[in-house]
Structure 1
Amino acid sequence: MRTIIHLSDLHFGRIDTAIIEPLIAQVHELKPDLVVVSGDLTQRARSAQFKQARHFLDALPQPQLVVPGNHDVPLFNIAARLLQPLRKYRRYIGEDLHPVFMDDEMVVVGINTARSLTIKDGRVNDRQIEITRRQLADVGDHMVKIIVTHHPFDLPPGPQHHSLVGKAIPAMRAFALCGADLLLAGHAHISSAVSSAGRYNIPGYSALVVQAGTATSTRGRGEVNSFNVLQIEAHQITVHRLGWEPGQNTFSLAASQSFMQRGSEWFRMDDLSDGPSASATHPPARTATG
């Protein structure tokens, strides 16, 4: 089994500073196999904000896989936005805009969805789709195959449909061909975990789509600051959402959902007739205690 910490929408430049040190300590306590950050490390893509984000990442466990978000592209500097939209991200965070992590149980591929010609929307292009398809197709089906973007491929029903990544439909068809299991994203500042089958009608295939809320920003959009802890093994994934408790100065367990794969489709275990195992719905003890 592998443990992934999924952080998103840090927005350095507009953060709750009281959260930073407890969050760093708690992530270390959870001893993740991988830390994923799904974009928007800064509020306005300024050098000072990227330096703060870099300092934060350096304080977290390794290995890490990080992708940029739309806020990591300059908004007001039009020349930089059009000509070198991710220059500061590359300088302070990482050169690789298509990062890959792989061990003997999972492969994780990051895709940059931030674009210079839009303010908040994002998209994938044909080249990114094909590269990702090949990378995931090249590993065995015993591996859990994970994709990380900033802009989401799915969200629960509601007004956030405009936040979905552009070219999602051809991307999902390609992901079905290579057997992608799990899609991690952020952007909407809303936590959720859903099967892609509700939005994409791809016979015999569905992925698990997991959203992280904002870990550190003051722009909560009705949710407390939170992050996800994913326990991942072949054919079974449990998603724990940890929410900020300011009175206790820690993140505590807010919700848990468990999913199981049958064939090439992912289902909530509550929806399966045989029900979940007792252990599947319990987070690690250290998660609950903070």
Structure 2
Amino acid sequence: MRTLVHLSDLHFGRVDQELLDPLRELVHRIAPTVVVVSGDLTQRAKSEQFEEARAWLDTLPGPQIIVPGNHDISLYNVFRRFVLPLERYKRHITDDLDPVYIDDEIAVLGVNTARSLTWKDGRVNKEQVEKICATLAGLPEGVTRVVVTHHPFDLPEGAQEDDLVDRAHMAMDVFADVGVDLLMAGHLHQSHAGNTQARYKISEYAALVVQAGTATSTRGRGEVNSFNVIRIEPRKIEVDRYGWDAVHKQFQIMATEKFMRSGNVWAEVNEGLLAAGI
């Protein structure tokens, strides 16, 4: 079994400082295989915000798969936004915009969806999808394939269609061919887990989608600060959502969802089916 801690939308510059130490201590107790951070490390892409984010990330265990979000591109400095859009991110966080972690059970691939021209919206291009395909194509069948972006490939109920990553349908056709199992994202400050079957009508294929809320930002958008812990087995994935308990000043498990794969389709299952081994 492999364990991923899924953090997103940290937004240093608008961080609730009270959450940082309890979150760090809990992540260490969980002892994840990989820490995944799905974008928006800063509020306004300022150097000091990236420095704060980097200093805090350095206190977490590794390895870490980190991708940028739209807030990690300068909004108001037009020159920096269009000419040097991720220069500060690359200087302070990582210059690898396509990070990869692979072992004998999981492959976790980070993809940069942040773009200068569409500051809020995200996009994936053909070259990025081809690189994902090339990386995953030669892996053994039993390896669970995970793609991490900031902008989501699917949406929870009530979300705006504009929040969907651009060229998602093109990418999903390729993901079906190479058997991508799990899509992890942030951006919405809203937790969600489900599969892609309703949105993408791809025969005998449905990936699992796991959305993280904001782990540390003061901009909760109606949801408490939260993060995910994802436990991966070859045909089973369990998603624990931890939320901030303001009374006890700690993160607590708020929900657990369990999914199983049948063929190339991931679907939620109940405890009865799990107990029966189905």
Shorter-chain TM-score tier:
over 0.9
Give the letter for the 1:265 counterpart. V
1:210 matched to which residue of 2? 210
Does residue 41 (structure 1) correspond to residue 46 (structure 2)? The answer is: no
Structure 1 position 160, deviation (Å): 2.6
Q: Deviations over 1:10-56 (max 9, x none)?
A: 00000100000000000000010000000000000000000000011
Structure 1: segments with no counterpart, 5+ residues: 281-290
Deviation above 6 Å: which 4+ runs of structure 1? none
90 and 82 in structure 1: CA distance in 2 versus 1, 3 angstrom threshold: same
**Aligned ranges for residues 1-290 of structure 1 at < 5 Å?**
1-270=1-270, 275-277=273-275
Matched residue SS, 2:197:
helix
CA distance in 2, matches of 1:164, 1:10: 20
Q: Deviations over 1:142-197 (max 9, x none)?
A: 10000000000001221332211000001000000000000000000000001110
Give the letter for the 2:84 counterpart. Q
Percent of matched pairs sharing the same residue = 54
CA distance in 2, matches of 1:197, 1:19: 36
94 and 263 in structure 1: CA distance in 2 versus 1, 3 angstrom threshold: same
CA distance in 2, matches of 1:39, 1:253: 23
Contact 1:155 1:194 (C-alpha < 8 Å) held by counterparts: no
Provide the aligned C-alpha RMSD in A.
Answer: 1.4
Structure 2: segments with no counterpart, 5+ residues: none
CA distance in 1, matches of 2:42, 2:159: 25
How many residues get paired? 278
Matched residue SS, 2:252:
strand
Q: Deviations over 1:62-120 (max 9, x none)?
A: 11000000000000110010001000000000010000001111000000000001120
Normalising by structure 1, we get a TM-score of: 0.94
Contact 1:160 1:188 (C-alpha < 8 Å) held by counterparts: no
Matched residue SS, 1:259:
strand
278 and 247 in structure 1: CA distance in 2 versus 1, 3 angstrom threshold: farther
Matched residue SS, 1:51:
helix
CA distance in 1, matches of 2:200, 2:277: 31
Give the letter for the 1:131 counterpart. K
Structure 1 position 278, deviation (Å): 8.6
